[in-house]
Amino acid sequence: MKDNREALRPYIADMVAVEKHILEAIERQRTDDDVKQFPEALQLLGRIEGVLHSHVEGLASHIQGYEGGGAAAAVKGAVTGVLGAIAGLYDKVRKDPASRALRDDYTALSLAAVSYSMLHATALGLSQGTVAELALRNLKDLAPLVIELAQVIPPVVVKELSFEGYPIETGVGQLAARNVREAWSTESATSTVAAGFGSGTTGTGGSFTG
């Protein structure tokens, strides 16, 4: 008979690997001089760093109760399949403008969010309530951060254009942010996102993110 609890271990390992990788990238960005030019973005990255650090610690603590070692062993086993999905986002050598770094953060956190939705659905299907609650709680932490990143990015893009010498009208950055906010707040957009999260089901093999 299959062990429902043990079936979740590779999925939890996936999430440890994903969030640890994103956390390391955020930590590097917070010391980047380009990013430091944008206080609002820097402040948001600080909050994202805190959330991710808490998630990694919580997942690492939880996975200690499974056979096969703790978080280090889990990440080592998961890293090839999981991080292939976001390997192109974070290159330690590459130097990108702040707006592109934030775009990569948005993409990576969105990947983590949908992976948590799949973990939540899988845990519910396998009657593993503790993991289901953990996944849902972490998803609820990430969702507002993704939305806030969408608001922060447009003003950064516009300000970077001004740094390059383009004549930019005052208030364009905030106008762009407001337009983006309105786009995401429409009924159709909300329904689309809800449908996307609702369809995140998976079997008991493979990887959420690979």
Q: What is the pLDDT of residues 182-195, one digit of tens each?
A: 988 865 455 544 54
Q: Pick the closest to residue 164 from 93, 100, 97 (CA basis).
A: 97
156-166 confidence digits (pLDDT tens): 999 999 999 99
Examine residue 204 and state whether it is found in any structural domain, yes or no: no
Q: What is the pLDDT of residue 206?
A: 41
Report the 3 state secondary structure along the chain: CCCHHHHCHHHHHHHHHHHHHHHHHHHHHCCCHHHHCCHHHHHHHHHHHHHHHHHHHHHHHHHCCCCCCCHHHHHHHHHHHHHCCCCCCCCCCCCCCHHHHHHHHHHHHHHHHHHHHHHHHHHHHCCCHHHHHHHHHHHHHHHHHHHHHHHHHHHHHHHHHHHCCCCCCCCHHHHHHHHHHHHHHCHHHHHHHHHHHHCCCCCCCCCCCC
The answer to the question of residue 54 being in a domain is yes
Number of alpha carbons in the 13 Å side-chain half-sphere of residue 43: 5
Residue 207 lies in a domain: no
Q: Which two tokens stand for residue 92?
A: 């330690």
Q: How many percent of the chain have pLDDT more than 90?
A: 58
**What's the pLDDT tens digit per position in 123-139?**
999 999 999 999 999 99
Task: Tally the domains of the chain.
Answer: 1
Is 162 part of any domain?
yes
| Residue 59 forms part of a structural domain | yes
Residue 209 lies in a domain: no
203 lies in some domain: no
Q: Which domain holds residue 28?
A: 4-198
54-58, 81-85, 96-100, 200-204: the lowest-pLDDT one? 200-204
Q: Is residue 106 part of a domain?
A: yes
State residue 5's pLDDT score. 84
State the pTM of this model: 0.81
The domain that contains 127 carries what CATH number? 1.20.1260.10
CA distance 200 to 1: 25
Cα distance between the two ends of the chain: 27
Least confident of 6-10, 96-100, 140-144: 6-10
